[in-house]
Structure 1
Amino acid sequence: MDRRRYLTALTGGTIAALAGCSGLAGRSDPSGTDGATDTREATDTPAATERASNATATGGTAASVPRQAGDVELPVPRSELDRGAAEDAIPAITDPAFGTDWSEFAVELDPNERVIGVKRDGEARAYPLAILNWHEIVNDVFEPRSKARRTESDGEFDGPLLVTYCPLCGSGLTAERRVDNEETVFGVSGFLWNSDLVMYDRATDSLWSQIMATAIRGPKTGESLSLVPSTLTAWSAWREAHPETEVLLPPPTSGSVGNARPRDYTRDPYAGYGESHRIGIGGEEFEGKLHPKADVIGIAHDGMARAYPFDTITNEGVINDRVGGLPVVVTTDPGDALVAYERRVDGDVLSFEPAGADAIRADGSRWRRATGEAVDGPHEGTQLSRANDASPMFFFAWRDFNPETEVYGN
């Protein structure tokens, strides 16, 4: 079964003990050398208990707290948070180190390994899921560079960067690592909401939904992080598109919370989870025509939400569609990453078609699938805007956060 559709193949007909978001792997290993977390019990620390108990803003009144984020009423009740691990038992990376590859390490970075790729301010970096499956959060910094070195596709972001991945939902999120415009460090709270990673920030002790990029409890309830564009694709495809890229190096070269011991980064702690119909750590059985772990890219606009499954996209090659009046084109890049762009350019709505493995064509120009940038013709240099706010993820996760979603092709 293709890893591009699911995390891994089912091993021995059973789901392996979950790690990462669940924080449960390795509990049977008394040496504590296997699994994503330490062998301490998943109980609340005093700080975590206080953080989870906050229902209104500290130092403010309940009326000052935003009460809605989309269809979600805030703050999220404590009863809706599931405790999967102790706070910081899944150790976020706080001092990342980078290199050109992993050739100096005992572990090898497979060319097909999925990475979250970010290009900003003239720099490209890749964050392998081989690491993120175990650590879930990377607190990084893109050092400012001269604006003269920037290209249009680089954007204007530099500075503190937050890179996150929830293995239970298959969802990545990259954002500016700031709260109240001040740099802060994010950690893994150990809570789950809708089976998704819940983060906390050290500046305010607020709890943040990873998929929503929004604080759901604590002083910053209702506030959202500023997203930074990223791509979830194969390491080989990212490196081919960005030959100058650096890649995150595994601990202990990269430092983490508590200087946690290194994991076995050659092993996927979620082996089997990707094909199971059960979701999250509770093992709830998912019902529906589409496999719950099918990779989808979701688009929400003007009160409408639609999910585009990987299989449907690859079968059609290029999809021209509208979501709530937003004209979109959905396709894959050479690393089988799902990408979606707005197909309105200078007020005109374009219709795209395939133009080889790495490009799509419209109105006399070819546009890179991976970046949405026109490389020739009358639109050369024009950048398509991304149509999706959320990263590609498992279908059940998209549906949990968008319960009225449609599924393209169904």
Structure 2
Amino acid sequence: MIRLISFLVSLTLVAGLAHADPNFWKHEWPDTNFRKTSVANWKEILSGGPPKDGIPALSNPKFLRAKSERRIKGNEPVITVEMAGADPRAYPLRYLTWHEIVNDTVGGVPIAVTYCPLCNSGITFDRRTRKGTLTFGVTGKLRNSDMVMYDHETQSWWQQAIGTAIVGDLTGTKLNALPTWMESWDQFRKRNPDGLVMAQPDFGRRYGHNPYQGYDSSHRPFLYSGENPPHGIPPLARVVRVGNRAWPLTRIRDEGGIREAGVTLSWEAGQASALDTGVIAKGRDVGTVRVRNGQGRDVPHDVLFAFAFRAFWPNGKWMLAR
């Protein structure tokens, strides 16, 4: 916890100097159209510390066959992408924690696999839009503690949690979320022994370590000044969001799965938290959630912190115990 506090304090000192005022940022973003935005108050957007591309997104990563991977521990979380016409792929959080976005193409579909550690939000988007196929990077900015992405093609800024452009020419454009999910490496490779896993990137990072040690047991999110969740739900409790509904993960676990509102939510032990101890594989077991519709098909969803659901879905429905 001491390491986390020191890390966040150092970032806060930097962030406190730099609200996203267009007059301040235009030297770094000369091609961004700041006249077009859905953000009511620029003070909502803060510097998280790193500059533009200071957190380097990845594009066209290399892959290994699951049976050839030796670095990843069995309980480490991965984001799983299973699409028709392509081998299943696993994108380990040991890499996404340090890169946050992976631009890839699977089964002919250009995708962006995204992970915001400060919100625990892991969503995969289709990169195709009315302006063509986009390639995403990390702005280094946060809004409600959630990553603000940008596209290289128009330099518009995008809110990761909602997949929507909030600044620039593409303001209001929404990306389509794909039905992918977080699970443990063991769960992925047991189901897909011949599947693919993203190879370790060629960067000098402490892959497998968590730079946000103790974060998901903190009392308050980093750089968040919004309202806390209702019903006494802790801000950093995990909830499973499907559309504008959120189920507390603990409810799904304790009830052994839930079937309501047209979906089935299942829970299985075995996935470590990526935001607990300094080594991801030593994190406490938070389990794996799968969300399927009445036909048994996977449904787009997110397992994020409760404060982020409150911030981006203020009128959302909290699916509490019946």
TM range (shorter): 0.7 to 0.9
Q: CA deviation at 1:49?
A: 5.8
**Quick one: distance in 2 between partners of 1:248 and 1:276?**
30
Aligned partners of 1:179 and 1:203 also within 8 Å: no
Aligned partners of 1:204 and 1:220 also within 8 Å: yes
Tell me, yes or no, if structure 1 residue 208 matches structure 2 residue 198: no
Aligned partners of 2:77 and 2:184 also within 8 Å: yes
Q: Determine the structure 2 residue equivalent to 1:308.
A: 247
Q: CA deviation at 1:290?
A: 1.7
Q: Determine the structure 2 residue equivalent to 1:328.
A: 263
**Quick one: distance in 2 between partners of 1:330 and 1:282?**
29
Q: Which amino acid aligns with 1:294?
A: A
Q: Which amino acid aligns with 1:396?
A: F
Q: Determine the structure 1 residue equivalent to 2:44.
A: 80
Q: CA deviation at 1:161?
A: 1.4
Tell me, yes or no, if structure 1 residue 274 matches structure 2 residue 225: no
Tell me, yes or no, if structure 1 residue 399 matches structure 2 residue 313: no
Q: Which amino acid aligns with 1:126?
A: A
Aligned partners of 1:16 and 1:273 also within 8 Å: no
SS in 1 for 2:308: helix
Q: Which amino acid aligns with 2:27?
A: P
Q: Determine the structure 1 residue equivalent to 2:169.
A: 219
Q: Determine the structure 2 residue equivalent to 1:113.
A: 76
Tell me, yes or no, if structure 1 residue 298 matches structure 2 residue 262: no
Distance verdict in 2 for CA 1:138–1:385, change over 3 Å: closer
Q: Which amino acid aligns with 1:321?
A: E
Map 1:366-377 → 2, pairs under 5 A: 372=296
Distance verdict in 2 for CA 1:308–1:134, change over 3 Å: same
Moved more, 290-299 or 274-283: 274-283
Q: Determine the structure 2 residue equivalent to 1:339.
A: 290
Q: Determine the structure 2 residue equivalent to 1:378.
A: none
Aligned partners of 1:192 and 1:198 also within 8 Å: yes
**Quick one: distance in 1 between partners of 2:320 and 2:240?**
10
Q: Which amino acid aligns with 2:157?
A: L
Aligned partners of 1:279 and 1:285 also within 8 Å: no
Aligned partners of 1:52 and 1:207 also within 8 Å: no
Q: Determine the structure 1 residue equivalent to 2:7.
A: 17
SS in 1 for 2:254: helix
Distance verdict in 2 for CA 1:46–1:267, change over 3 Å: same
Q: Which runs of 5+ in 1 are unaligned?
A: 1-10, 28-42, 57-73, 145-157, 253-260, 346-371, 373-383
Q: Determine the structure 1 residue equivalent to 2:278.
A: none
**Quick one: distance in 1 between partners of 2:170 and 2:127?**
14
Q: CA deviation at 1:103?
A: 6.3
Tell me, yes or no, if structure 1 residue 140 matches structure 2 residue 104: yes
Aligned partners of 1:118 and 1:231 also within 8 Å: yes
Q: Which amino acid aligns with 1:53?
A: F
Q: Deviations over 1:373-395 (max 9, x none)?
A: xxxxxxxxxxx352xx4411111
**Quick one: distance in 2 between partners of 1:232 and 1:87?**
27
Aligned partners of 2:229 and 2:310 also within 8 Å: no
- Larger of the two Rg values belongs to structure: 1
* Identical aligned residues as a percent: 35
Q: Determine the structure 2 residue equivalent to 1:409.
A: 321
Tell me, yes or no, if structure 1 residue 94 matches structure 2 residue 59: yes
Q: Deviations over 1:243-268 (max 9, x none)?
A: 2211111221xxxxxxxx42011311
**Quick one: distance in 2 between partners of 1:319 and 1:168?**
27
Q: Out of 23, 46, 49, which is 2:27 matched to?
A: 46
Distance verdict in 2 for CA 1:311–1:117, change over 3 Å: same
Tell me, yes or no, if structure 1 residue 264 matches structure 2 residue 210: no
Q: CA deviation at 1:217?
A: 1.1
Please provide the CA RMSD for this pair: 2.9
Q: Deviations over 1:101-159 (max 9, x none)?
A: 59677xx21111111000112311111111111110001122x5xxxxxxxxxxxxx23
Q: CA deviation at 1:406?
A: 2.0
4+ long deviations beyond 6 Å? 102-105
Of Structure 1 and Structure 2, the greater helix share is in: 2
**Quick one: distance in 2 between partners of 1:82 and 1:14?**
19
